[in-house]
C-alpha cells in the first residue's frame, strides 16, 4: 500500500515494474496441497462471502429494476460464485471471489443495468490482466481517490438494503428491536474482533488449532455476516401472539416471487445469454 500514498501515478513504481505481457496460468505458485483444517476454515470463509454476496445480489436486482430474486436464481448465482472461488485458487490469485459491492453502487450511480455492459467490462478485465502495463495504471490509482469512490458506491449499496425496510412494519416494537440490535451488534462485534487482532496480532479466539481460530474469528470480523445472521435468527425466533408477525416481517409482499415461473418478467431479467439457459436452467 506504500506505493499508493502518492497522488501521482508515475511515482508509484508499479507501471515501470510491470511486464508488458504476462499470461496467468494454473498452479503458477506450485502444486496444490491439502490440509483438512485449512479446508474447513476456507469453507467458513466462503460461507461468510456467500452471506455478503447475497446482499450484493439483492442490491443489483433492486437497482437494475428487476423483479425480486427467486430462490432458484440466487442458488444459481451462488453456484457460479463457487466455481469462481475454485478458479481463484487454481490460478493463485491470493483472494477469493465474491459479489463486488462496489459494482452494485456503480450500477446505482450510473443507472446502467445492461448485461452487455458487464460482458464488455469482463473482456476489458481479461485484456488488462494479460497486458501488465495497462493493468498497472489502474493498480497505481492513489488510495484517496479509491476511498472517495467507495464513499459513493457503499452509500448506494447500503441504501439499497435500507430501502427494503419500507415493506416491514416499522411501528412494531418487535421490528424495532430486531433492527436496532442487529445493526448495533453488527457494527460493534466485528470492530472488537478487529481491534483485538490489531493489538495482540491474533484474534479473541486463540487456541493451538489455527484452523479453528479462523473458523470463529473470520465470520465475527464481518459486519454484514454478524448483522445478517443475528437479524435472521431473531426474526425466526421472536414471535407474537396476535398473528401479525407475517405482516410485520413484510413477507406477504414476496409470496408471488417465490418461484421463477410465478412472474412472467423473470424470464426477461434472469435468463442466461448465448443459449446457456439450456445447460444452466433458471428453475
pTM over 0.85, yes/no:
no
93 plus 110 within the same structural domain: yes
152 plus 276 within the same structural domain: yes
59 plus 144 within the same structural domain: yes
196 plus 158 within the same structural domain: no
> Rounded to an integer, what distance in angstroms lies between the CA atom of residue 46 and that of residue 193?
19
How far the first Cα of the chain sits from its last, in Å, is 44
55 plus 102 within the same structural domain: yes
Which range is least confidently modeled, 82-86, 202-206, 226-230? 82-86
106 domain-assigned: yes
Instruction: Judge whether residue 122 has pLDDT over 80.
Output: yes
Place of cell 473458523: 215
123 plus 217 within the same structural domain: no
159 plus 221 within the same structural domain: no
> Rounded to an integer, what distance in angstroms lies between the CA atom of residue 159 and that of residue 64?
14
Report whether 74 contacts 274 (CB < 8 A): no
H/E stretch holding 88 reads helix 71-90
Whole-number percent of the chain with pLDDT over 90? 16
160 plus 44 within the same structural domain: yes
Mean pLDDT score, 236-263: 75
268 plus 196 within the same structural domain: no
Instruction: Judge whether residue 105 has pLDDT over 70.
Output: yes
**pLDDT number for residue 65:** 84
Mean pLDDT score, 49-77: 86
Looking at the structure of the chain, the number of domains it has is 2
Which range is least confidently modeled, 12-26, 45-59, 223-237? 12-26
144 plus 274 within the same structural domain: yes
Full residue range of the structural domain in which residue 146 is found? 34-166+260-283
Amino acid at each position: 500500500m506504500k506505493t499508493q500514498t502518492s497522488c501521482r501515478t508515475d511515482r508509484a513504481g508499479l507501471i515501470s515494474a510491470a511486464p508488458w505481457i504476462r499470461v496467468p496460468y494454473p498452479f503458477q505458485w506450485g502444486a496444490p496441497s491439502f490440509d483438512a483444517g485449512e479446508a474447513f476454515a476456507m469453507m467458513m470463509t466462503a460461507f461468510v462471502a456467500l452471506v455478503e454476496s447475497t446482499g450484493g445480489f439483492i442490491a443489483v436486482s433492486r437497482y437494475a429494476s428487476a423483479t425480486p430474486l427467486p430462490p432458484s436464481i440466487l442458488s444459481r448465482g451462488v453456484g457460479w460464485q463457487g466455481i469462481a472461488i475454485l478458479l481463484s485458487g487454481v490460478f493463485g490469485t491470493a483472494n477469493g471471489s465474491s459479489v463486488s459491492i462496489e459494482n452494485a453502487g456503480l450500477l446505482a450511480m450510473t443507472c446502467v443495468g445492461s448485461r452487455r455492459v458487464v460482458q464488455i467490462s469482463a473482456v476489458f478485465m481479461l485484456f488488462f490482466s494479460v497486458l501488465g502495463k495497462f493493468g498497472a495504471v489502474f493498480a497505481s490509482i492513489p488510495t484517496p481517490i479509491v476511498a472517495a469512490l467507495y464513499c459513493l458506491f457503499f452509500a448506494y449499496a447500503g441504501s439499497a438494503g435500507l430501502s427494503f425496510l419500507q415493506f416491514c412494519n416499522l411501528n412494531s416494537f418487535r421490528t424495532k428491536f430486531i433492527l436496532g440490535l442487529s445493526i448495533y451488534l453488527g457494527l460493534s462485534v466485528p470492530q472488537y474482533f478487529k481491534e483485538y487482532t490489531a493489538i495482540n496480532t491474533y484474534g479473541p479466539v486463540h487456541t493451538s488449532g489455527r484452523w479453528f481460530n479462523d473458523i470463529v474469528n473470520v465470520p465475527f470480523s464481518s459486519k454484514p455476516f454478524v448483522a445478517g445472521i443475528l437479524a435472521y435468527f431473531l426474526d425466526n425466533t421472536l414471535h407474537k401472539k396476535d398473528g401479525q408477525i407475517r405482516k410485520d416481517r413484510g413477507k406477504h409482499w414476496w409470496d408471488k416471487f417465490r418461484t421463477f415461473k410465478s412472474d412472467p418478467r423473470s424470464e426477461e431479467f434472469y435468463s442466461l445469454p448465448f443459449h446457456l439457459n439450456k445447460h444452466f436452467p433458471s428453475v
